[in-house]
Structure 1
């Protein structure tokens, strides 16, 4: 996909706007420090109004980040402006043309929402600010994926908040316990679990199959179950989409619909809000979501999500499980992910100094990254930070802390299994179309994979 033109930006002033901690010899300690003005104004005196645009993770988590930021920067007012996932690109594009109303905005990797390839040209280069905050070896302190995915033509266009990984299914453990069920490990297990739930008038698995990105997640999980790594090789053009393992993955995808795993009407529903609300209101016991769903292990965050879904019940116990071994290969536990989002600073912002302070704080400071880690929404970008489990309150720690710790550790260890970073916009559309036509019976797996291969070849 052709990259958007990168603006030529003068960063000399901002390069001097960040102080670096030293050990008394003039050598950087590499400790994250606060952004200050070139005149040496203390962080508490740095002021400004910053409007922060984005679509994730949403209230009340974003407001918690802002409150933590204000402990270090009490005179910078940050206003969170949220759009829906699907509306973000259309909303942020015209806003970036103004010098007011947008100062910091979320960008992501590849073809996802707010893709840096599309919107990076409207952002300043944050490299000097990060280098000053973390030292000359700053790249070694941040997750490699977050740096490479948000760099365009050598310029760091956004600072990663952290990464998200997909490949997991979340289950309502309370419902499983109520009906004496264990999480499914095989396809037969899954079908039996669904039969029991349906017999008791409880929905089994829910997916908004009208929202293509989440369908790609499910296909990726199936493909890694069939043959680990083949899906990513196909996105890179290293194997054809007509590879028998990928044809098999599409066959299994179709089977989720014909075998009654997917709910009736799935192709007419969205993952957000439909599937999310169905799970949060406990009408369904299972949903395909990734590490970003971990935030709902926290009681007040889950309560807000449940209320938004129309439920007045108390928070329930949910846990992540591996995608079942529906291919019968024994290849389970695959996780794939990218930087979820990063904060970019608009080149047209009239509050660039305060905006840069916020972006750098979120992406490089221990305080900012700890707030992100403890929210359980992302795997932190700063390698030295992990959730402080003593401070993280869970709905049911006895049942949730072990699986969540394991998920965080496994996700942090993933090195080369991207989620969307290797899928450009054209192939993203082609994949979504292939999945929907196979699910609807409008194309066979053989036909769909041939169409995908033609699209890949056309893309070069």
Structure 2
């Protein structure tokens, strides 16, 4: 039984309690510059606005239609941007006092940047789901939802709607053709690449142009070398120049210096080029994450053979590193979270929409597209197109997500940028691992000062 069958939304009692718990000041909504109003329009109207970069537009439209059909008289005004444009739009609206009712957020820096514009959500969650509402969520999602809060501030200014692991993916047909198993150790990775080299496909396709991908690959390596040490360095309890982190920079560099990654890796982006190459069958392995299962979404207009029911793909964890943890560590967390504007004119409806999209009928619409993994446990697609697809889904949701302990994010944008820049310098041969670690620590000292 899915959560769609067990949770009820939209009752008058819930709406009334949310109004009492979440009501903010009712102020005039200024024009949003696009022919409409922000907030909820006229006081007492049943309209809320939603702005984000995710979920994708067609999935969001389906979620909106489901909610509006179940709640006659309500309206959700939505705009889905590309991520860079969304960040600009959100900054503009926050500075002009025209925040949307519901906003898409990432944990840490982005949520903290707009914390003063967001209402705490724990009362909203308790009214919708009861006092034990936190038990519904994967723990890493709730941990990250409060990442960066000031000391003593236990509020949830955002709640996750989608979560994910970061990991590797294999083209199973290529590996089988060459007698290779998904590598579990660094030595096995090196051997697998050597075995498959010299063909018309990349044994290990690394789209290292993207700063986010450089960071998530490094965080998998770093946590396999010295679990949790990078986060201690962020908090000032350790240093980025500690041996374990320098070793992680060394193994990151060996992806390039030892020919594990393809030539020109720093010029290849993950989307669209890296993803297109992998889906077309011209790469044996690639570092992405749980979201790759969305390639098997049956609602896609054309599903390539490898992606149909995940017929040609298999996820596996980043290999262990000599001298590090004996087992691969789980890294991941929030994909997208949702927040509600503190000055929303219709906070009860905004909360009803938010909770529906996290764990109600709207959430079911979202998960039916395999867009990513649900933030709550026990929510599964209503239909699977193959046993393999269902098995991979279960691996993510039942085996891996409950074990995710380490974040795919750093807490501040300055540190994200500093790490990504240092990794690029190591990959290009412009910096040694020790120099890269020292450069990151220099930025960390500035952030912590």
Q: Which moved more, 1:216-225 or 1:50-59?
A: 50-59
Q: Which moved more, 1:333-342 or 1:437-446?
A: 333-342
Instruction: After TM superposition, give the deviation of residue 354 of structure 1 in Å.
Output: 3.7
- Aligned equivalents of 2:237, 2:83: Cα separation in 1: 31
> Is 2:267 the partner of 1:264?
no
Instruction: After TM superposition, give the deviation of residue 330 of structure 1 in Å.
Output: 6.3
Cα–Cα, structure 1 residues 447 and 319, in superposed 2: closer, same or farther, change >3 Å?
same
2:399 corresponds in structure 1 to 410
1:91 corresponds in structure 2 to 89
1:65 corresponds in structure 2 to 63
- Aligned equivalents of 1:320, 1:60: Cα separation in 2: 26
1:387 corresponds in structure 2 to 380
2:213 corresponds in structure 1 to 214
User: Tell me, what secondary structure is at the counterpart of 1:205?
Assistant: coil
- Aligned equivalents of 1:312, 1:164: Cα separation in 2: 19
What is the aligned counterpart of 2:332 among 321, 334, 337?
337
Instruction: After TM superposition, give the deviation of residue 202 of structure 1 in Å.
Output: 1.2
1:54 corresponds in structure 2 to 52
User: Tell me, what secondary structure is at the counterpart of 1:66?
Assistant: helix
- Aligned equivalents of 1:288, 1:40: Cα separation in 2: 42
* Structure 1 vs Structure 2 CA RMSD: 3.5
User: Tell me, what secondary structure is at the counterpart of 1:277?
Assistant: helix
1:286 corresponds in structure 2 to 285
User: Tell me, what secondary structure is at the counterpart of 1:204?
Assistant: coil
Instruction: After TM superposition, give the deviation of residue 92 of structure 1 in Å.
Output: 2.2
> Is 2:244 the partner of 1:245?
yes
Cα–Cα, structure 1 residues 426 and 328, in superposed 2: closer, same or farther, change >3 Å?
same
Q: Which moved more, 1:210-219 or 1:199-208?
A: 199-208
What is the aligned counterpart of 1:135 among 130, 138, 149?
130
1:120 corresponds in structure 2 to 115
Cα–Cα, structure 1 residues 248 and 352, in superposed 2: closer, same or farther, change >3 Å?
same
Please list the CA deviations of residues 344-380 of structure 1 after superposition, one character each: whole Å capped at 9, or x if unmatched.
23345565554332112123x4434444555444443
User: Tell me, what secondary structure is at the counterpart of 1:203?
Assistant: coil
Cα–Cα, structure 1 residues 345 and 442, in superposed 2: closer, same or farther, change >3 Å?
same
Counterparts of 1:230-241 in structure 2, within 5 Å, are 230-241=229-240
Please list the CA deviations of residues 395-450 of structure 1 after superposition, one character each: whole Å capped at 9, or x if unmatched.
x42x4433442232233323632221x53222212111111111111110011112
> Is 2:428 the partner of 1:440?
yes
- Aligned equivalents of 2:131, 2:309: Cα separation in 1: 49
Counterparts of 1:259-408 in structure 2, within 5 Å, are 259-301=258-300, 303=302, 316-327=311-322, 329=324, 331-347=326-342, 352-363=347-358, 365-383=359-377, 385-387=378-380, 391-394=382-385, 396-397=386-387, 399-408=388-397
Q: How many correspondences in the alignment?
A: 412
- Aligned equivalents of 1:408, 1:121: Cα separation in 2: 33
Q: Which moved more, 1:59-68 or 1:431-440?
A: 59-68
Cα–Cα, structure 1 residues 195 and 76, in superposed 2: closer, same or farther, change >3 Å?
farther
Instruction: After TM superposition, give the deviation of residue 229 of structure 1 in Å.
Output: 2.7
TM-score, normalising length from structure 2? 0.79
- Aligned equivalents of 1:427, 1:39: Cα separation in 2: 41
2:10 corresponds in structure 1 to 34
TM-score, normalising length from structure 1? 0.77
Cα–Cα, structure 1 residues 154 and 270, in superposed 2: closer, same or farther, change >3 Å?
same
